[in-house]
Structure 1
Amino acid sequence: MRRWLRCAAFALLALAAAALLYVGTACALMFWPANAGARAPATGTPTVEAWVLSNGVHTDLVFPIRSATIDWRELFPPAHFKAVAPDAEFVAIGWGDREFYLHTPTWADLTAARAFGAMLGGNRALLHVTYLTRAQLRHGAYRLPLSQPQYARLADHVRATLTGGRATPIAGAHYGNDDAFYEAEGGYHLFETCNTWTGRALRQAGVTVSRWTPFDFNVTWHLQPVRPPP
């Protein structure tokens, strides 16, 4: 019995040490960011109005629906959605675990088994796309200082995530009228999270961001939050 208790205590200590190492590494790397010398586009340089949107756990990339670089309606047609708002101006794009995405529409639906299942991996990923109005960017939005070439690299990152480079919707999968899910490359696990997908896109685009972004704060730490009007 004592031997079993010692083994259990050792296992718990090892798990706690691994968790501390995981979180500590993520925090430490915020202070050694990639693209540390990156500057916002110079005045007069054509820029793109874009953001990172965070709910405190998960991050999405947010882009104008249409620009000189891409018209997202051509890649993600409104016909794939129940009813896109007529005043929608932006599209939010995020990557995540298939089972978690499809079965956790609200935090009330979260279960320990589903959370651990996502962390342990084994499930394929999906891309989640939502058309947004400007009013929906009042909270949790962070400005992205993007030039047109940087924006083009982010658009390429999204296209490369789609299975076969094509937007294949998941039939009947929606949280509301303005969102849809698509087949995506890769699989979710402890070291490849929704936020590492966002962080990788930003690093490739030349935006200052942590070298590893398992958490939302790793993504947003170096960005400028949008202050909602009073």
Structure 2
Amino acid sequence: MTLAFAIALALLAAGTPGHADEATPSSSADRPVYLVSHGWHVGLVLRREDVAAVGLSRTLALGSFRYLEVGWGDGDFYPAPRGTLGLALRAAFRSRSSVLQVVGFDDEVAEMFPQAKILKVDLSPDGFAALTRYVEASYAVDAQGRPIVVAPASYGVGAFYLARGRYRLLDNSNTWAARALKVGGCPIDAEAVVTAGGVLHAVAPFARVVRPGVLLRAADPPAVRCEAPG
């Protein structure tokens, strides 16, 4: 794989958002997590009520929206209005910081992101709590323990927050999303995931397809389930 091809594939996995969501009934004990592909980057959509039930506050700061989308990426490339090759190269090899983007919305997921490929994964309550703690731990905080806003969100109502972790070409926002699912009890090799497509295909055996792409087909019910983390 050439360097240029690797960069093009990952495009630093912090792309710009589109718009989407939908809710499919499952067990009342399940906590749904939606994976929304924005091309080169996968965001995680959580129900605000589920996040609130965990009792953690940083991700709830936006207000009383029905859903929250979270994503992690390079501190320069991810918030940029237009990604450039220079920003992409710096993010891949000399990243200076990382950020979390959190956006709140009320529309159904598929309506919010009408062009996106979307998968839905059901987590146990304990698995969802573990995933939420993983997201909360990704925030960098000030001396008072408060999240640090660095820029308005790239769409909708939200913001970019200074984050923990070092962004790299092969340890990027898609790897971050895959780790969140692994922490939540899903059978995924997070360290092998680099691209948005890699996330979707790794997740497909234990996900429901809300909106399929060319290579995504619905598996209902999923072949395997995410279990409560051990």
Same fold (TM over 0.5): yes
User: What is the 5 A alignment of 1:72-221?
Assistant: 75-78=59-62, 88-103=65-80, 105=81, 109-132=82-105, 133-134=107-108, 135-138=111-114, 139-164=116-141, 166-211=145-190, 212-221=192-201
Number of residue pairs matched by the alignment: 182
Structure with higher helix content: 1
Residues 183 and 171 of structure 1, relative CA distance in 2, 3 Å threshold:
closer
Q: Residue in 1 aligned with 2:36?
A: 53
The DSSP-based 3-state class of the residue aligned with 2:68 is strand
Residues 131 and 17 of structure 1, relative CA distance in 2, 3 Å threshold:
closer
Residues 176 and 205 of structure 1, relative CA distance in 2, 3 Å threshold:
closer
- Which is greater in Rg? 1
Question: Relative contact order, CA 8 A, sep 6+: which one is greater?
Answer: 1
- Please give the per-residue CA displacement for 1:111-155, whole angstroms capped at 9, x wherever unaligned: 111111111133210000011221214432210121111101100
* Structure 1 gaps, min length 5: 1-14, 24-42, 80-85
RMSD: 2.9
State the AA in 1 paired with 2:39: G
Verify the 8 A CA contact 1:125 1:185 in the aligned structure 2. Answer: yes
Verify the 8 A CA contact 1:163 1:184 in the aligned structure 2. Answer: yes
How far residue 173 of structure 1 moved from its aligned partner, in angstroms, is 2.9
How far residue 160 of structure 1 moved from its aligned partner, in angstroms, is 1.1
